[in-house]
Amino acid sequence: MKIVLGIGGGIAAYKAAELARALLEPGHEVQVIMTQAAQEFVRPLTFAALTGRKVITGMFPAQTGGDTLASAVEHIAVATSSDLLVVAPATADLMAKFAHGLADDFLSTLYLAFTGPVVLAPAMNTNMWRHAATQRNLETLQQRGHHIVGPEEGELACGMVGPGRMSEPEKIAAAVCAVLSARRDLEGETVLVTAGPTQEPLDPVRFISNRSSGKMGYALAEAARARGAEVVLVSGPVALGPPAGVKVVRVRTAVEMREAVLAHLEWASIIVKAAAVADYHLARVPEHKMKKTAARLSVELDPTPDILAEVGRRKGGRLLVGFAAETQDLVAEARRKLVSKGCDLLVGNRVDREGVGFESDDNEVTLVSCTGEVTPLPRAPKRELADRIYDELLKLRLTIHAAR
Ligand code: PMT
């Protein structure tokens, strides 16, 4: 898992080094972000050496470790690619910023852009902790669902005795691990995912197909399983192994895919259609290989069944996620497909750009929801985007239910 460790400016910042080590131990990736004040207490080099990564020390390119436009929006990239944000020590100032949505440095800006679980380990002087302002901020942060670890009672660096001491790194690391393993928000759901291309035969040895590798759909199946869902993956012909714990139904043509999808329709509570289904096929495939006799060959193709549109008509209360593979007018086309195919969420992606779309490990998508929201998700590994898609889908379900 990818963890962001935010370090605030307090004497307890030195304990964050132990925390980084404890988080690295089970194999997590740890990206450290230090506020300006934190750097007065501990040098970023300590954390760079521990984590093997450049420490982010500020908002602007020289501080984020880059000199390009990409580094100027680094907070978004880090926010969208991370599984959890832990802030230790969480100072009174950071808690106030988070509670009120101030965004004047990298950590507070990332906090606003981050949609995953947040763990805060407060540390401050006893009077600051007890102050009505801090307690009000604490309440706000708790209501937001953040996990608060500590503070502990004891002797503080300022000489006072009382609550305010940051919890020990092992305790914070244990809380982080508990939160990560508790992300089972799809438990009880039955998720049907389609992936890969279809192959439409022209004769017994030739077929029409496309460049889909199945990576996007397999990532969606894997993510749903990791979050506790039962998953059936209807897969066209691909070179990928089955994701752990997922039932795979292998199909070849659009007609076979339709049958497999409809067979699981009643069972599914969420349907995600990432497959690149051929739009046309030869309705009657010749029994024997075509001979090379004519100088020119014309083949008349018929439309394949539109599986997504059919599911859209029959979905009842199920959540339906469609995809749109486009080379132009991404948002307009995604909107059109969302409505015409009866989806709740449409994932639009460009398939004419290097490094994203077909075959690549990464993708860059724009989500269009039935409530009219348009959410661009920047380039990231398909597995990470899969999680973001479920995050947005679960939020959308709450909005749909609230509107009923
Ligand atoms: O497999 P990868 O290499 O990882 O690439 C991922 C991807 C680019 C294939 C994936 O992200 C993607 O965009 N999938 C949908 C591709 C597609 O068929 O898009 P479309 O715009 O042509 O179709 C719109 C939707 O209708 C899709 O959800 C598709 O599954 C569905 N459809 C299309 C035709 C058809 N006959 N039946 C369908 O259900």
Question: Which CATH number belongs to the domain containing residue 216 in this structure?
Answer: 3.40.50.10300
Pair 305, 339 in one domain: yes
Whether 17 has a pLDDT exceeding 80, the answer reads yes
CATH of the domain at 59: 3.40.50.1950
* Residue environment code for 32-49, b if the CB has 16+ CB neighbours within 10 A, otherwise e: bbbbebbbebbebebbee
Q: Which of 130, 151, 182 is the last residue of a domain?
A: 182
Most confident of 79-88, 337-346, 384-393: 337-346
CA–centroid distance, residue 226 to ligand 1 (Å): 23
Pocket test for ligand 1, best of 212, 321, 354, 362 (most atoms within 8 A of CB): 212
- The pLDDT confidence band at residue 69, using thresholds 50, 70 and 90, is low
Q: Which atom of ligand 1 is nearest to the CA of 219?
A: 4
343 is catalytic: no
Pair 141, 87 in one domain: yes
The pTM for the full model equals 0.65
CB 173 less than 6 A from any atom of ligand 1: no
Pair 379, 232 in one domain: yes
Q: Which of 182, 216, 251 is the last residue of a domain?
A: 182
CA–centroid distance, residue 322 to ligand 1 (Å): 8
The sheet carrying 84-90 orders its strands as 29-34, 2-7, 84-90, 118-122, 147-148
Residues 235/217, Cβ–Cβ less than 8 Å: yes
Q: Which atom of ligand 1 is nearest to the CA of 349?
A: 13
Tell me what pLDDT residue 144 has.
84
What's the length of the chain? 404
Q: Which of 182, 214, 239 is the last residue of a domain?
A: 182
Pair 90, 162 in one domain: yes
Pair 87, 209 in one domain: no
Worst-scoring range by mean pLDDT, 58-72, 120-134, 267-281?
Answer: 58-72
CB 218 less than 6 A from any atom of ligand 1: no
Nearest CA to ligand 1 atom 26: 308
Pocket test for ligand 1, best of 271, 302, 308 (most atoms within 8 A of CB): 308
Q: Which two tokens stand for residue 343?
A: 């989806």
Tell me what pLDDT residue 63 has.
62
Pair 214, 77 in one domain: no
Pair 107, 173 in one domain: yes
Q: Which atom of ligand 1 is nearest to the CA of 322?
A: 28
The three-state secondary structure class of 261 is helix
Q: Which two tokens stand for residue 128?
A: 């600051």
Q: What are phi and psi of 272, to 5 degrees?
A: -125, 115
Worst-scoring range by mean pLDDT, 131-145, 168-182, 382-396?
Answer: 168-182
CA–CA distance, 209 with 150 (Å, rounded to integer): 57
CB 254 less than 6 A from any atom of ligand 1: yes
Pair 380, 233 in one domain: yes
CA–centroid distance, residue 275 to ligand 1 (Å): 5
Residues 386/367, Cβ–Cβ less than 8 Å: no
Nearest CA to ligand 1 atom 35: 306
Pair 13, 53 in one domain: yes
Give the H/E segment covering residue 326: strand 319-326
Pair 89, 195 in one domain: no
CB 324 less than 6 A from any atom of ligand 1: yes
Domain range for 274: 190-403
Count up the domains in the chain and report the number: 2
Pair 8, 30 in one domain: yes
- The pLDDT confidence band at residue 83, using thresholds 50, 70 and 90, is confident
Q: Which atom of ligand 1 is nearest to the CA of 279?
A: 36
CB 91 less than 6 A from any atom of ligand 1: no
Task: Tell me what the mean pLDDT of segment 199-216 comes to.
Answer: 97
Span 241-296, pLDDT tens digits: 887 778 999 999 999 999 999 999 999 999 999 999 999 999 999 999 999 988 99
Pocket test for ligand 1, best of 200, 257, 273, 277 (most atoms within 8 A of CB): 277
CA–CA distance, 245 with 232 (Å, rounded to integer): 9
Strand 374-381 and strand 362-369: the pairing is antiparallel
Pair 318, 381 in one domain: yes
